[in-house]
Structure formats: structure tokens, C-alpha cells
């Protein structure tokens, strides 16, 4: 049973360290459905994570691209970018002469592209159904930066303290279970965390309640002192961490069969294990009215290139991907949550219930992941480069293999 589950789940890429953490993605890369030349005036090229947009190449019955092409007359080529570094390079390669029209980006890549002015402000009036997207998600970072809207939400997820309900009793109640040295020691060698700097933000959430004198509010807007405290919190427990994950299979394979019993994971991974009958659960409950900033939400965003050759077809494609029908299918395919409440029917209904979608707009306990940058509200925050450097210190000390630099993928 477990082998079937692991074979069927979607590859997850870790966010800040050359891989991605975020909504799940299929292991097979999509293949282009359009021509190989931009000479066609109705042709667009879109950069996407592997499998995030199904075009029939993995499963002929799961094709969201061909019907769009037939209906719109626009032809689409999906460019699969395996890492955040690849995605950023693809859209910024030869700025001023880029031939990519848009991108489906992680929070970090979205923030970097906005800073680089490689993406254009979103013309929301040109996105059919924009008003049907959750108001909370439309206003969340990185969709809005500096008061300007750049992103269109696609799918969302949330980090939780996942645990094996058959082995961890009583159930954990907060991030303390992972980052308190005494608690972590009780499960030493059987803890899993993302191999990405987002783990520093999760440690910051722990410190927010464990050390209120630090004054942490947003876990992605940390002063040098606060970031150092988060680094120290992870360092104190790194000897107890057995798995530094960057793929769904690592979480489901380890947590699902009891090799790991506790960890920082994503809700869609818990959903996959629960559906397979595995003893997995997660806390905190999503979209609660109380508990300000107790969990981190993850949002994938559509962005339009500042140098798009065909904005008309790009906006038509974004409108299509925001339709209730495609949102329902995308949520069901990935086990993540749709961004359009009207999509919470049929095959997506169970996901929406697991994510408490109906409570999202009034929830106070979710902080959406965004790019750490010095120009935060406090004006004294640490930069993304500092987060990456601190994360490298942690993983080097823990003996975690360092990722190889990604080759340039621009073309």
C-alpha cells in the first residue's frame, strides 16, 4: 500500500535552497503542447513547476491545456523549471528580450521577480473571475507588494506539525513539540523538517510564544537578533532531526511508515497519508479565528512577465486557470486547496473541508510565506541572503548534503 502511495504522490520542491517546498507537483514534467517557435501571434510560453499544470502528458484524462487552446485559439507551451533558481533564471534571462510570457512562482521567486521588475503589475480587470478568488488570498503576500498587485493566487497550502498518531501520545499542540530541546530529544532521530530556510520561520513561530521578549510578529520579518535566535533554536535540535526533506516521498515514506514520527510538514502530505489509511495527523487546525500567526501558509502565484510577447493570451490563460472547473481539478490533483471558494465541490470538497476553506477570509492564525527583505514594515529586517547564509550554517553543521548549483536554463 505504501509503495503505491509514494509512487502516486507528487514531487515537492523546497523553497529557498535551490529546491522548493510548497504545493505538490507531479513527478513527470509536462511536455509542450504548442509549437516550438514564437512566430505564431497566439503563442505563449509559461514557466511552471513540474506537474503543477496538467496537459495530458502524465494522464490523458487530466488535461487543462488542450481545452483552453481549443476554446481560446491561444497555443501554450509549458516550460518545466525544476528549482526556484531555474524558474528565476528562465523569466529573467535576457531581460528586455525574454520570450516567456508568465510564470507560476513560489513565494520566494515571486518576491525576487517583483524586486527585479521582471514581472508587470497585474491588470486584475483582465482576469475573468478575479473577484471570485478568496479576498484573503488576493491580498496576501506575495500577491501584493508595496501596495501594488502583481500575483494571481493559484493553490494554497499550510505547514503543520505532523505526527504519527499511533506513536506520539499525547498529540503535540504546537511548534514546541519540534523546537523545544526536551521535546525533540524524546523523539531523537525520528524528526523531519524541510531542507529550506522556511524552517527558520517555523522556529520563529515557536519563539514568538516561547520567548515573547524577542518581539517577533511576522516570522518572515526578523531583525538580526530575532533571526539569530531562530537559527539557534534549530541548531539546538539539529542532532535530533533524522530527515531533512525536500520531496513528498521523503515525508510520506518516513512519517507514513513510522521511521519518522514527528515533523514540520505540509497539509497536503497529511491528506495523502490519511487517505491511504496511514496514522498521520497535523496541528494546528487550519484557519482558526484565534491564535494570531501560529502557522505558515504557502501560496503559488501566477505572474505576467514585464516583457510578455502576448499579454492577451497570457491573461486569457490566467482566467482559465482561475475558473471553478480548473480550480476543482487542480486541488483534487495536488491535494492542496483551491483559491476560489466556488471550486469547493465534487472532487475538491474533501480538500476544502480539510483546509477549512470556508473560514479562510476571517482566520487570524495564518501568516503567508513571503520573501524576507530589508524593506519590511519595521525597516530593520534581515535580507533573503542572510536567511540563506544562516540556513547553510545549520545544514553544514548537521552534515546535510549541500545542493549542487543549477545549470543555466535560459534560452
pLDDT tens across 331-372, in order? Answer: 998 889 999 999 999 999 998 988 888 888 877 788 999 999
In CATH terms, 160-295+371-398 corresponds, of 3.90.1150.10, 3.40.190.10, 3.20.20.70, 3.40.190.80, to 3.40.190.10
Question: HSE-up of 283 (CA within 13 Å, CB side)?
Answer: 15
Lowest mean pLDDT among 8-22, 80-94, 158-172: 8-22
What per-residue confidence (pLDDT) applies to 112? 93
| CA dist., res. 138 & res. 55, Å (int) | 26
Which band of pLDDT confidence, cut at 50, 70 and 90, is reported for residue 103? very high
**pLDDT digit string, tens, across residues 253-265:** 899 888 999 999 9
- Position 376 pLDDT exceeds 90: no
Average pLDDT value for residue range 25-37: 39
pTM of the model: 0.86
Measured CA to CA in angstroms, residue 325 lies from 30, 247, 328 at distances of 20, 28, 5
Which residue in 247, 131, 139, 232 sits closest to 194, CA to CA?
247
Lowest mean pLDDT among 49-53, 107-111, 273-277, 374-378: 374-378
| CA dist., res. 372 & res. 129, Å (int) | 30
C-alpha cell at 197: 530556510
C-alpha cell at 60: 490523458
- Position 39 pLDDT exceeds 60: no
C-alpha cell at 128: 475573468
| Residue 399 CB coordination number (10 Å) | 8
At 411 the three-state DSSP class reads: coil
| CA dist., res. 176 & res. 178, Å (int) | 5
Percentage of the chain surpassing pLDDT 70? 84
| Contact present, 262 and 193 (Cβ < 8 Å) | no
| Contact present, 198 and 369 (Cβ < 8 Å) | yes
| CA dist., res. 107 & res. 154, Å (int) | 12
Do 10-156+299-342 and 160-295+371-398 share a fold?
yes
φ/ψ of residue 74, rounded to 5:
-90, 140
At 149 the three-state DSSP class reads: strand
- The segment with the largest mean pLDDT, out of 11-20, 82-91, 324-333, is 324-333
- Position 410 pLDDT exceeds 50: no
Question: HSE-up of 243 (CA within 13 Å, CB side)?
Answer: 23
**pLDDT digit string, tens, across residues 151-169:** 999 999 999 999 998 899 8
For the chain, what are the domain ranges?
Answer: 10-156+299-342, 160-295+371-398
DSSP secondary-structure letter at 10? P
Decide which of 2 and 122 is more confident.
122
| CA dist., res. 353 & res. 68, Å (int) | 29
In CATH terms, 10-156+299-342 corresponds, of 3.40.190.10, 3.90.550.10, 3.40.50.1820, 2.40.10.10, to 3.40.190.10
Which residue in 364, 178, 208, 166 sits closest to 283, CA to CA?
178
| Residue 379 CB coordination number (10 Å) | 8
Amino acid at each position: 500500500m505504501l509503495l503505491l502511495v509514494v509512487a502516486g504522490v507528487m514531487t515537492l520542491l523546497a523553497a529557498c535552497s535551490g529546491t522548493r517546498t510548497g504545493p505538490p507537483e507531479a513527478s513527470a514534467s509536462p511536455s509542450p503542447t504548442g509549437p516550438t517557435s514564437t512566430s505564431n501571434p497566439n503563442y505563449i510560453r509559461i514557466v511552471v513547476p513540474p506537474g503543477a499544470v496538467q496537459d495530458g502528458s502524465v494522464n490523458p484524462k487530466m488535461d487543462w491545456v488542450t481545452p483552453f487552446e481549443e476554446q481560446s485559439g491561444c497555443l501554450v507551451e509549458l516550460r518545466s523549471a525544476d528549482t526556484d533558481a531555474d524558474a528565476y533564471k528562465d523569466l529573467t534571462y535576457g531581460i528586455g528580450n525574454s520570450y516567456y510570457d508568465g510564470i507560476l512562482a513560489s513565494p520566494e521567486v515571486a518576491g525576487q521577480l517583483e524586486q527585479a521588475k521582471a514581472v508587470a503589475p497585474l491588470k486584475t480587470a483582465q482576469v475573468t473571475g478575479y473577484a471570485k478568488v478568496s479576498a484573503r488570498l488576493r491580498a496576501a503576500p506575495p500577491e501584493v507588494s508595496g501596495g501594488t498587485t502583481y500575483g494571481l493566487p493559484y493553490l494554497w497550502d499550510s505547514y503543520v506539525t505532523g505526527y504519527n498518531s499511533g506513536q506520539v501520545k499525547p498529540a503535540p499542540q504546537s511548534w514546541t513539540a519540534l523546537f523545544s530541546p526536551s521535546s525533540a530529544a524524546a523523539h531523537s532521530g525520528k524528526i523531519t523538517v524541510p531542507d529550506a530556510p522556511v524552517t527558520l520561520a517555523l522556529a520563529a513561530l515557536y519563539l514568538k510564544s516561547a520567548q515573547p521578549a524577542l518581539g517577533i510578529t511576522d516570522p518572515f520579518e526578523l531583525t538580526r537578533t530575532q533571526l539569530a535566535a531562530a537559527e539557534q533554536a534549530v541548531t539546538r535540535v539539529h542532532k535530533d532531526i533524522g530527515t531533512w526533506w525536500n520531496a513528498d516521498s521523503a515525508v510520506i515514506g518516513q512519517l507514513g511508515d513510522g521511521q519518522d514520527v514527528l515533523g514540520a510538514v505540509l497539509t497536503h502530505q497529511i491528506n495523502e497519508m490519511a487517505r491511504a489509511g496511514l496514522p498521520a495527523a497535523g496541528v494546528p487546525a487550519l484557519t482558526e479565528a484565534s491564535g494570531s500567526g501560529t502557522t505558515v501558509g504557502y501560496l503559488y502565484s501566477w505572474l505576467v512577465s514585464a516583457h510578455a510577447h502576448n499579454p492577451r493570451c497570457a491573461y486569457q490563460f490566467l482566467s482559465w486557470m482561475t475558473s471553478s472547473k480548473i480550480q476543482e481539478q487542480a486541488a483534487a490533483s495536488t491535494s492542496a486547496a483551491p483559491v476560489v471558494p466556488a471550486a469547493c465541490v465534487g472532487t475538491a470538497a474533501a480538500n476544502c473541508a480539510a483546509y477549512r476553506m470556508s473560514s479562510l477570509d476571517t482566520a487570524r492564525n495564518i501568516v503567508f510565506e513571503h520573501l524576507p527583505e530589508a524593506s519590511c514594515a519595521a525597516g530593520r529586517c534581515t535580507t533573503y541572503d542572510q536567511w540563506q547564509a544562516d540556513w547553510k550554517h545549520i545544514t553544514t553543521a548537521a552534515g546535510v548534503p549541500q545542493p549542487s548549483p543549477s545549470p543555466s536554463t535560459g534560452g
